[in-house]
Chain A
Amino acid sequence: MSPLLAQVEIREREDTCVSDNGFCPDWIADNFDRYVDPFLQHVLLTVVAVAIGFAIAFTLALVAYRHRWLINPVTQVTGVLYTIPSIAAFFLLLPITGRGFVTATIALVAYVLLIIFRNVLTGLDNVPDETKDAGRGMGLTDRQLLWRVEVPLAMPEIMAGLRIAVTTTVGLATLAFFAGAGGLGEQIFADINFKSNVVVAGGLAVALAALLDAAILITQRAITPWTRAAAAR
């Protein structure tokens, strides 16, 4: 029919590891840069969501610590948010906030709230009464007591909560592509038949969670040196 204007090269193909959808280390090494952007998107999603969630939940916990009647309602509400499967949350938010980073972040933040809230609260509750009395005895005001005694002593609990929040958020952020926010989940689905792709994208997500988890653990050990001694005992 038409003159051959397209000189697109029609290639001969043999069966290779890649065309067989296998696990091909060579290919992975050559194409690793494909995973950098999704990885960074994933990091951003996680860090932003946890930071915002922490800020909100920490504040709520401090308020509830003083005004005990708040504990129950806040726990219930954050509990419900926690129980709604995140994928449902992504889709429910779509018509309101549209596709993109914001929608994903809102859903991820909602998930983080309960974890941080209850951990901060439990940490504060666990401060021994004697320590608080001693502090008051030394003339500390309520506010000083809170920031100089109670919060530092609650740190292990708070950090434990942060670790859980971070690893869970990395996991949930893989679903963020349903909300149009990219991330490693999108990369997995870009070629779900290709073993190399799934292993690398999935592996990076696991590595990210492990890395952040370790980072928080190290920070915690650094800022609460007394627990190191306790753990060593």
Chain B
Amino acid sequence: MRKHRWLMMLALLVAALAVAGCGDDDEGDGGSGSADTAAEQPSSQIQKNADNSSTKVTIGSKNFTEQKLLGEIYAQALTAAGYDVSTQLNLGDEKTALKALEGGDISAYPEYTGTALLSFFGFTADELPSDEGEAFDEAKAGFEEKNLTALPPTPFVSSNEVAVTKETADKLSLKTISDLEGKSQDLTLYGSPECRQRLDCKLGLEQVYGLKFKKFVPVDIALRHEVLKKGQADVSIVFTTDPQNKREGFVLLEDDKGMFPPYNSTLVVRNDVIEKAGPDFAKTVEMVNKGLTDEVMQELNARVDLDKSTPEDVAGQYLEESGLTGG
């Protein structure tokens, strides 16, 4: 038993070194078509390892499109790697998801570094790191204390943002969030229910920018664009990766006082699961993360929100199109 565990740890260590070290594994299979990119290796496929089938993994997610997508992507990728994967997506807000993770209902879910710092680890606005790497390190340290492992983050950043319609921005000459000073008391703010207490949401707007709104209406997070579009909300909180922003011509106000931290996505996993799962787990996740750039994430979101494909289908498309699965 003990010897086994030792070997596992050793293997993990070696894998970690290999991953952290000089780039990528070149064990790939022919990879997928498109050869165009110059120097580096073509994308390698996820290898199925039969040993992994004894490890049960439950992937959870929060309750908006990007989260469901990420959940599906990781779930399908890990299945391709041979794990016994089930999903429990759409759990709720970040506190609900963390509770499920800590309680063992799920093995892992994708969280954002910024969200973790503010909602879980009690960072105040002035303590927030502005560097993505720093934010991840702080988040990772915080999670370690909870016996959770935060795996290396995605390239893409999905930040909370304050949005208004173009008309409102023009009418009130709004470019930055500070421009709302003196005007916000006549405006209604719509946000998700948890927005009321988050420092990267209504609470932060009150504390960092000193803004008071005429009314705050909590609505389901899925409605964040519709309320703005229909004119019910003067101001709404959206995400930078939402395809609707560009489509509807919303103006995202600049965060001049630095209220919003970096928000890279990191898959947070229970320590007992990642131990049992072996090196393939982190490796697979890393392979998946490589392709998740800002542009790609927005495209995937658009496929669900605008083209109305299911997160499950789009996740499969992502894995295929980036050559991670054979398709």
List A residues at the B interface (Cβ < 8 Å). Answer: 1-11, 13, 18-19, 21, 27, 31, 34, 99, 189, 191-194, 197
Contact = CB atoms under 8 A, between A and B. Distances in A.
B34 to A, nearest CB: 5
A191 B43 contact: no
B84 to A, nearest CB: 19
B112 interface: no
Interface in B286-309: 290-293, 295-296, 299-300, 302-303, 306-308
Nearest to B323: A7
B272 interface: no
A10 B299 contact: yes
B181 interface: no
B320 to A, nearest CB: 9
Given A8-B296, A10-B295, A19 B37 contact: no
A7 B322 CA distance: 5
B13 interface: no
Interface string B152-189: 00010000000000000000000000000000000000
B29 interface: no
Contact of A192 (B33, B42, B222, B318): B222
A176 to B, nearest CB: 14
A10 B294 CA distance: 12
A3 B40 contact: yes
Contacts of B36: 4
Nearest to B311: A190
A13 B246 CA distance: 12
Interface of B: 32-34, 36-40, 42-43, 105, 155, 220, 222-223, 225-226, 247, 290-293, 295-296, 299-300, 302-303, 306-308, 310, 317-318, 321-323
A86 to B, nearest CB: 19
26 contacts: A2-B290, A3-B38, A5-B37, A5-B43, A5-B290, A5-B322, A5-B323, A6-B43, A6-B291, A6-B321, A6-B322, A7-B33, A8-B299, A8-B321, A10-B295, A10-B296, A11-B299, A13-B307, A19-B247, A19-B307, A27-B308, A34-B310, A189-B220, A193-B226, A194-B308, A197-B308
B40 A191 contact: no
A5 B222 contact: no
Contacts of A13: 247, 302, 306-307
A80 to B, nearest CB: 29
A96 to B, nearest CB: 15
A192 B220 contact: yes
Secondary structure type dominating chain A contacts: loop
Contact of B318 (A8, A21, A197): A8
Contacts of A31: 308
Contacts of B32: 7
Contacts of A21: 226
A11 to B, nearest CB: 7
Contacts of B302: 11, 13
A198 B259 CA distance: 36
A6 B290 contact: yes
A192 B295 contact: no
Contacts of B226: 21, 193
Contact of B321 (A7, A18, A193): A7
B105 to A, nearest CB: 8
Contacts of A10: 295-296, 299
B308 A18 contact: yes
A194 B223 CA distance: 11
A1 B40 CA distance: 12
- 10 smallest CB-CB distances across A and B, nearest first, come from A6-B291, A19-B306, A3-B40, A6-B322, A3-B37, A8-B321, A7-B34, A5-B43, A8-B296, A4-B37
A197 to B, nearest CB: 8
Nearest to B224: A193
A158 B32 CA distance: 65
B29 to A, nearest CB: 14
